[in-house]
């Protein structure tokens, strides 16, 4: 609408001078253009100006000014001139001015004004339709854009190569693959029937739509069918692979692009860097940074922000901070990337400090920044500050964003205020699946498996559909509680919905089956996978190591090498553990040496502990002790504990005594190893030493974590802890146990002298 302020005034001569050829025309009509609404102006002017006509000079000047008006006020003045000139009168054939005006209003973000003009246009061109579509998509009104496109087709308007990219963006924005596929079919139909050849922009939009809607295979088909692939199409395909979590595919495409002679630009580099972060491939990320420096776009804000994100995921916070500090004009994305980097690496204090620095720098907190700082507040138990951020989010209208809802739930769960988290989930009118995912993860971390499964079941009650993250959140609950029945049901669901094709989900399924003793099912899942990554092989290697199948674990490593898949530190932990359980000492040594020399992986405490365990199980205790003494880092409880565990079966009390003194003197707190040392002394009848260890255990207040067992009845899982008395049926359980013990006594069965009724049963606790 026209502003409710005077369009012309004595002080507006400067503005009028820009429309000098129209000066006389303005003076003839200025009394008609008052401070009224657009609709009033149109009606009033139509009565007085139907006979007005533009001269060629005015026509040319109007056309020129409509291309790039100085501001919204000038656009409205031009609008008034068009009304006076009768452009919108019925029967007018020239739709050029109206289309340009629609474009202008859309460009200034005045979509409602653009729609008003569009409705009044007696003749509507493709330009006007495309402008309205672009305005709706820019306003993220994707469903309306799709409806408008359908209406456009009903009006027998044939879409062009400017229309398709816009409507395909609406499909990707609303994640509507079905409509996107129909649009692509229409493109092919018009290409066949009307010879309307699609251009590279349309093909890039098709790739982007398929990728963002989760159909990477279809995106790849469009890409491969392109006769000529330009840089934009490569960037779209690489970005699509990254969006779908297929980082290896993204890197493969990037390398192939270089082989075909195309030089990446800043957009391509910014697109591929997230793949390096996800794979923790810092070497490739550094190479890309070097390339950016050589090409002169290291100062590009998008590249810099992607570098910060990549280094954060690769746990190289110094490098991330260095890139951040070199950015001259930091934007909200720069701040959110560095805040997230520190938060993801457990540096919560620093992440909160950076947020305060951002606020002091005058950068306004947006949805992304708020979602990045909330996890840090939760981990630091800063409930008061978390509530303040919650209040700020409500004032800013962020509550409609599922990511904020998810971050708030995560914060409240970490602060131990489950009720507040539940209120957000169940009272919010803007529930999204990410919020349920956070709730499930929160319950899982706190050990409340029943509640986690309850939230999972409630997803369907709210007409939502679990995604891959949901499955990744609930499967560890099934693994931890031994609830394989539910795990199998979830596995079946992933097969029906094709979520099971996601590599990370299949990896989690392998872990669940193998940890619960169903190794053969885990292998079946592994063999059925279309794609495997390093996590897949690490999971299956560690599973075989745990089951004592060392040779089989090593065969998977050989398979990795054939696929040229580079192992990481987790791979070698699994391999060394496998060698330890299988007694493959020399093979374990060769792997340890290869890890350092061939793969340049520096050993960490877990690797040292595995080597000590490997030598200890084989009875090579002296060699294990020498290995510990030659370690470049101070051995921790896990390393000494591995040696102590080996002393008992090999009856090396002298070494056990030395290790025990180390554990006690260095105040290493681990109840299990203290108890083991006590049992070693007791078995050798060294009662004085045993008594000393027992005194230390009491003095330190150490107690061994009780064992647990589970039983599932219906949808409920009953957890029992040794010597626990919290289970609601505890009294009845004891009563039955007493009856069983009495029956044993009557039948002449003798109870083990080292046992008691509390040792024989595990009660919830």
Domain ranges of the chain: 56-124, 713-763
Spatial separation of the C-alpha atoms in residues 318 and 306, rounded to whole Å: 15
> Given this model, what pLDDT does residue 51 score?
34
Q: What b/e string do you get for 323-345 counting C-beta neighbours within 10 Å, with b at 16 or more?
A: bbeebeebebbbbbbbbbbbbbb
Contacts 24+ apart (CB under 8 A), 676-683: 676/641, 676/644, 676/645, 676/648, 677/644, 679/648, 680/644, 680/647, 680/648, 680/653, 680/656, 681/653, 683/648
Beta-carbon contacts of 152 under 8 Å, excluding residues fewer than 6 positions away, are 129, 133, 159, 163
pLDDT at 710: 65
Angle between the 468-481 and 484-497 helix axes, to the nearest 10 degrees?
Answer: 160
Structure tokens, 219: 């995106």
Report yes or no: 170 and 136 within 8 Å, Cβ to Cβ. yes
Q: Which two tokens stand for residue 161?
A: 């190569």
Q: Is the dihedral of CA 722, 726, 728, 730 positive or negative?
A: positive
The answer to whether 132 and 114 are in contact (CB under 8 A) is yes
* Residue 214: per-residue pLDDT: 84
CB atoms closer than 10 angstroms to residue 300: 18
Closest by CA to 246, choosing from 278, 285, 280, 293, is 278
Stated pTM of the model = 0.68
Residues 737-759 as b/e (b if ≥16 CB within 10 A, e otherwise) read: eeeeeeeeeeeeeeeeeeeeeee
How far, in Å, are 126, 609, 662 from residue 612 at the CA level? 75, 5, 16
Angular region, 290: left φ>0, alpha ψ -120 to 50, beta rest: alpha
Which ranges of 415-459 would DSSP assign to H, the alpha helix?
418-427, 433-445, 449-458
pLDDT in the model for residue 1: 35
Residue 763: its H or E element: strand 762-763
Rounded to an integer, what distance in angstroms lies between the CA atom of residue 715 and that of residue 280? 39
Residues 16 and 8 sit within 8 Å (Cβ to Cβ): yes
User: Quick one: pLDDT at residue 94?
Assistant: 60
Instruction: Answer positive or negative: Cα dihedral of 330, 331, 332, 334.
Output: negative
Q: How far apart are the C-alpha atoms of 652 and 660, rounded to whole Å?
A: 12
Q: What is the Cα–Cα distance from 106 to 404, expressed in whole angstroms?
A: 29
**513: CB partners within 8 A, 6+ apart:** 484, 487, 519, 521, 522, 525
b/e per residue 75-110 (b: at least 16 CB within 10 A): bbbbbbbbbbbbbbeeeeeebbbbbbbbbbbbbeeb
End-to-end CA gap in the chain:
69
The answer to whether residues 582 and 547 touch, using CB atoms and an 8 Å cutoff, is no
Axis crossing angle, helix 367-379 with helix 383-396, rounded to the nearest 10: 160
Q: Is the dihedral of CA 296, 302, 306, 307 positive or negative?
A: positive
The Cα 464–Cα 461 span in angstroms is: 8
CB 472 within 8 A of CB 440: no
pLDDT the model gives residue 246 = 83
β-strand pairing of 762-763 with 716-722: antiparallel
Cα atoms found within 13 Å of the Cα of residue 72, Cβ hemisphere only: 12
User: Per-block average pLDDT, block size 10, for the chain (765 residues)?
Assistant: 31 40 47 44 43 57 76 79 73 71 89 89 88 93 93 91 95 90 93 86 94 90 92 93 87 92 92 91 92 89 96 94 94 94 93 94 91 92 94 89 92 94 89 93 89 92 90 91 86 88 91 93 94 92 94 95 91 95 94 94 93 93 92 88 87 85 70 79 80 77 66 66 71 84 78 42 38
How many Å apart are CA 610 and CA 613, to the nearest integer? 5
Bridge partners of 722, per DSSP, are: 762
Q: Identify the three-state secondary structure at position 762.
A: strand
Element containing residue 710 per DSSP (H, E): strand 708-713
pLDDT tens profile 93-141: 566 777 888 888 899 989 998 898 898 888 888 999 999 999 999 998 9
């Amino acid at each position: 609408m026209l502003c409710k302020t005077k369009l012309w005034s004595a002080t507006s001569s400067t503005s009028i001078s820009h429309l000098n050829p129209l000066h006389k025309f303005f003076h003839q009509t200025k009394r008609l253009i008052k401070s009224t609404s657009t609709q009033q102006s149109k009606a009033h002017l139509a009565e007085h100006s139907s006979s007005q006509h533009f001269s060629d000079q005015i026509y040319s000047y109007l056309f020129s000014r409509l291309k790039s008006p100085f501001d919204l006020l000038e656009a409205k003045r031009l609008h008034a001139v068009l009304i006076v000139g009768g452009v919108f009168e019925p029967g007018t054939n020239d739709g050029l001015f109206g289309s340009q005006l629609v474009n202008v209003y859309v460009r200034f973000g005045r979509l409602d004004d653009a729609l008003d003009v569009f409705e009044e246009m007696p003749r509507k061109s493709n330009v006007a339709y495309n402008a309205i579509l672009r305005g709706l998509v820019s306003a993220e009104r994707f469903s309306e854009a799709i409806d408008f496109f359908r209406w456009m087709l009903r009006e027998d308007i044939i879409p062009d190569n400017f229309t398709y990219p816009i409507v395909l963006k609406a499909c990707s924005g609303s994640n509507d693959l079905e409509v996107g596929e129909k649009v692509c079919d229409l493109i092919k139909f018009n290409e066949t029937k009307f010879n309307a050849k699609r251009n590279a922009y349309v093909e890039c939009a098709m790739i982007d739509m398929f990728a963002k809607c989760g159909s990477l295979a279809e995106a790849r088909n469009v890409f491969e069918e392109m006769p000529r692939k330009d840089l934009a199409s490569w960037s779209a395909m690489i970005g699509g692979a990254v969006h779908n979590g297929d980082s290896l595919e993204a890197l493969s495409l990037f390398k192939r692009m270089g082989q075909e002679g195309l030089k990446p630009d800043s957009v391509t580099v910014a697109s591929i860097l997230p793949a390096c972060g996800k794979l923790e491939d810092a070497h490739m990320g550094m190479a890309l940074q070097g390339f950016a420096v050589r090409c002169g776009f290291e100062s590009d804000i998008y590249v810099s922000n992607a570098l910060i994100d990549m280094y954060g995921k690769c746990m190289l916070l110094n490098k991330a901070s260095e890139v951040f500090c070199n950015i001259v004009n930091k934007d909200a994305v720069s701040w959110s990337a560095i805040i997230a980097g520190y938060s993801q690496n457990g540096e919560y204090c620093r992440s909160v400090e950076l947020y305060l620095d951002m606020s002091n720098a005058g950068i306004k907190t947006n949805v992304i920044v708020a979602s990045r700082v909330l996890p840090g507040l939760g981990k630091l138990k800063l409930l008061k500050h978390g509530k303040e951020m919650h209040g700020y989010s409500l004032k800013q209208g962020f509550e409609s964003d599922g990511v904020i809802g998810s971050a708030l739930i995560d914060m409240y769960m970490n602060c131990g205020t489950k009720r507040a988290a539940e209120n957000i989930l169940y009272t919010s009118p803007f529930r999204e699946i990410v919020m349920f995912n956070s709730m499930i993860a929160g319950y899982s971390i706190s050990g409340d498996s029943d509640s986690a499964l309850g939230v999972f079941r409630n997803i369907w009650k709210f007409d939502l559909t679990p995604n891959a993250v949901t499955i990744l959140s609930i499967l560890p609950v099934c693994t931890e509680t031994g609830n394989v029945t539910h795990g199998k049901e979830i596995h079946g669901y992933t097969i029906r919905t094709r979520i099971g094709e996601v590599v990370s989900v299949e990896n989690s399924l392998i872990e669940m089956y193998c940890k619960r003793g169903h190794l053969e099912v885990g292998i079946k899942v592994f063999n059925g996978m279309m794609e495997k990554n390093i996590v897949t092989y690490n999971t299956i290697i560690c599973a075989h190591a745990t089951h004592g199948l060392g040779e089989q674990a090593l065969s998977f490593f050989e398979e990795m090498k054939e696929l040229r898949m580079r192992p990481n530190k987790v791979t070698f932990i699994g391999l060394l553990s496998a060698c330890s359980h299988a007694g493959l000492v020399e093979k374990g040594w060769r792997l340890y040496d290869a890890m350092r020399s061939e793969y340049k992986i520096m050993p960490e405490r877990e690797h040292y502990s595995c080597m000590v365990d490997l030598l200890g199980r084989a009875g090579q205790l002296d060699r294990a002790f020498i290995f510990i003494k030659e370690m470049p880092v101070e051995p921790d409880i896990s390393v000494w504990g591995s040696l102590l565990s080996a002393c008992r079966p090999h009856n090396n009390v002298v070494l056990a005594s030395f290790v025990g003194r180390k554990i006690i003197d260095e105040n290493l707190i681990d109840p299990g190893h203290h108890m083991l040392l006590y049992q070693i002394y007791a078995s050798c009848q060294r009662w004085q030493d045993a008594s000393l260890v027992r005194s230390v255990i009491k003095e330190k207040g150490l107690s061994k974590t009780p064992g647990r067992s589970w039983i599932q009845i219906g949808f409920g899982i009953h957890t029992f802890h040794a010597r626990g008395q919290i289970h609601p049926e505890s009294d009845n359980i004891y009563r039955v146990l007493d009856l069983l013990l009495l029956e044993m006594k009557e039948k002449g069965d003798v109870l083990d002298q080292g046992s008691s009724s509390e040792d024989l049963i595990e009660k919830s606790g």
